[in-house]
Amino acid sequence: MVVKRSDLFFENVWHGLETQNLQKYLTIIVKKHRFLPRSEVESDPNWQQIIPYLIFENQGKIFLMRRKSSHTDRRLSNLYSIGIGGHIDKEDIIKSTKSMKSTRGTKGNELIFNWAKREFEEEIKYDGQYIANFLGLLNDDSNDVGRVHIGLVVKLTGDSPKITVRDEHKSGKLVGLEEAGKNYKKMETWSQIVYDFLVAKMKKAGDFSGILPDCRAGTYRFIDTNRGLPDDAMEEINLKVGDPFILEPGAFAIATTQEDLKLPNDIIGRLEGKSSLARLGILVHSTAARFDPGWNGAPVLELGNLGPKPAILYCGMPICAFTFEKLSAPVKMPYAGSRSDRYSGSKKPVPSKIEKHPSTSSGQVGRRKKK
């Protein structure tokens, strides 16, 4: 089952879990869906494949699955998931709507729950009853898999912990939300988005211990500037021209320009942001806008999102500009090769090397000895 991207996103494109105006989007799916061979749409972003994405919960624990290395979709092998989901075929619709005269005359929520029930029973062996609650529609344009799918996220609250996966290429178990968070970095992006939604909902309800952020960020609570960044503080993401990158509210990322910059010994460069991005709350540099005489390499962008919504940036888009100032005389010690040189010559983003800065913690200064 697919729907045209232009039909679904006729007003605007969102990233993440959309929980507003759901009936409008469900009406589009019900009225305008069609069935096409999966081979034709698997890599075509003009089509959104409809995927029921089910979150099972029992007594505060959620069902966490892991796709084994033998999983059929190599792009998702060894990744964790809190969502039970799969494609909808025409035969599936016929089976799940036998009691209905037509899917196109049926209310959206009723269809969603029928599709969810069929998917759950097909993927999962469960001994018990459950209540279904439709959470929203999930869109993720940050990777090739997400770009061609749209998720119908349904939470199933069950009365029994007796649940297993039917697929031999997957494993699963019930775990607490905090324990699931320890595998956050190894989750597929859809699960990360839904997980963040569940955590935010628990925080709002006051039912949250506050331990989880430490698990997701690593095992550290702060960054010691004398020791530098922990090994798991940053993740490298490689993009091609035109690829999207989702910058979440409050998130920080470093990137480089496509152009290299080489400054002579009598020129200072300054990186300036773009007004249109600034009006969206997007920072292009945090504080380090100056490039000293003798700099050589790809300028680094210190990206931040101060806005309330995720921002989609695209590799290769115009994102900054430079101004230059000429000194009255060349510097005697250019940046490249100097004591403060930690990033010169780099062609890709380099994490902070603050631990290599000269230490000023002792508060001592040099003093000439008396003769």
pLDDT at site 88: 85
| % residues pLDDT > 90 (the chain) | 28
Inside any domain, residue 72: yes
Tell whether 76 and 148 lie within a shared domain.
yes
Q: Domain containing 298 — which CATH number? A: 2.70.40.10
* pLDDT-derived band at 2, boundaries 50, 70, 90: very high
Domain identity same for 145 and 30 = yes
Residues 21 and 170 placed together within one structural domain of the fold:
yes
pLDDT category of residue 161 using cuts at 50, 70 and 90: very high
Confidence of residue 225 (pLDDT cuts 50, 70, 90): very low
3-state secondary structure the chain: CEEEHHHHCCCCCCCEEECCCHHHHHHHHHHHCECCCHHHHCCCCCEEEEEEEEEEEECCEEEEEEECCCCCCHHHCCCEECCEECCCCHHHHHHHCCCCCCHHHCCHHHHHHHHHHHHHHHHEEECCCEEEEEEEEEECCCCHHHHCEEEEEEEEEECCCCEEECCCCEEEEEEEHHHHHCCHHHECHHHHHHHHHHHHHHHHHCCCCCCHHHHHHCCCCCCCCCCCCCCCCCCCCCCCCCCEEEECCCCEEEEECCCCEECCCCEEEEEEECHHHHCCCEECCCCCCEECCCCEECCEEEEEECCCCCEEEECCCCCEEEEEEECCCCCCCCCCCCCCCCCCCCCCCCCCCHHHCCCCCCCCCCCCCCC
pLDDT 10s digits, 112-136: 778 788 888 889 999 899 988 889 9
Residue among 244, 227, 221, 213 at smallest CA distance from 311: 244
pLDDT of residue 360: 42
* CA gap 266, 112 in Å, rounded: 66
In a domain, 51, yes or no: yes
pTM for the model = 0.57
pLDDT classification of 370: cutoffs 50, 70, 90: very low
Number of domains in the chain: 2
Give the mean pLDDT of 196-211. 64
The yes-or-no verdict on residue 313 having pLDDT over 80 is yes
Where among 188, 208, 228 does a domain terminate?
Answer: 208
Average pLDDT over residues 30-35: 90
Q: Residue 363: its pLDDT value, please?
A: 42
Identify the band that residue 47 occupies on the pLDDT scale cut at 50, 70 and 90.
very high
Q: What is the pLDDT of residues 302-312, one digit of tens each?
A: 899 998 888 88
Q: What is the mean pLDDT of residues 4-27?
A: 88
pLDDT of 287 over the 70 cut: yes
What pLDDT sits at residue 72? 57
**Is 361 among the domain residues?**
no
Please check whether residues 198 and 262 belong to one and the same domain: no
Asked if the structure places residue 98 within a domain, the reply is yes
Whats the size of the chain, residue-wise? 371
pLDDT band at 83 (very low <50, low <70, confident <90, very high): very high
Is residue 365, in this structure, part of any structural domain at all?
no
Please report whether residue 105 resides in a domain. Answer: yes
Same domain, 149 and 17: yes
pLDDT-derived band at 233, boundaries 50, 70, 90: low
Least confident window among 48-57, 193-202, 337-346: 337-346
Q: Pick the more confident residue, 231 or 246.
A: 246
- Domain of 129, in residue numbers: 2-208
Say yes or no to pLDDT of 85 above 80: yes
pLDDT, residue 364, reads: 40
d(CA 95, CA 97): 6
- 302 belongs to the catalytic site: yes
User: Per mean pLDDT, which range of 180-184, 290-294, 350-354 is the poorest?
Assistant: 350-354
| pLDDT band of 106, cuts 50, 70, 90 | very low
User: Do 28 and 167 lie in a common domain?
Assistant: yes
Residues 27 and 159 in one domain: yes
Do 285 and 184 fall within a single domain?
Answer: no
Angle between the 22-32 and 108-123 helix axes, to the nearest 10 degrees? 70
CA dihedral 95, 100, 104, 109 (to 10 degrees): -90
Are 190 and 254 found together in one domain?
Answer: no
Q: What is the mean pLDDT of the chain?
A: 79
- 232 domain-assigned: no
Which CATH number fits the domain that encloses residue 118? 3.90.79.10
Q: What is the pLDDT of residue 193?
A: 92
Same-domain check for residues 298 and 342? yes
Provide mean pLDDT across the span 76-81. 79
Provide the pLDDT for residue 199: 84
Q: What is the pLDDT of residue 310?
A: 86
Q: Are residues 267 and 140 in the same domain?
A: no
User: Does residue 367 lie in a domain region?
Assistant: no
Report pLDDT for 98.
Answer: 55
What pLDDT is recorded for position 136? 92
* Residues 26 and 167 grouped into a single domain: yes
| β-sheet bridge partners, residue 292 | none
Average of per-residue pLDDT across 253-260: 87
Residue among 236, 302, 325, 355 flagged as catalytic: 302
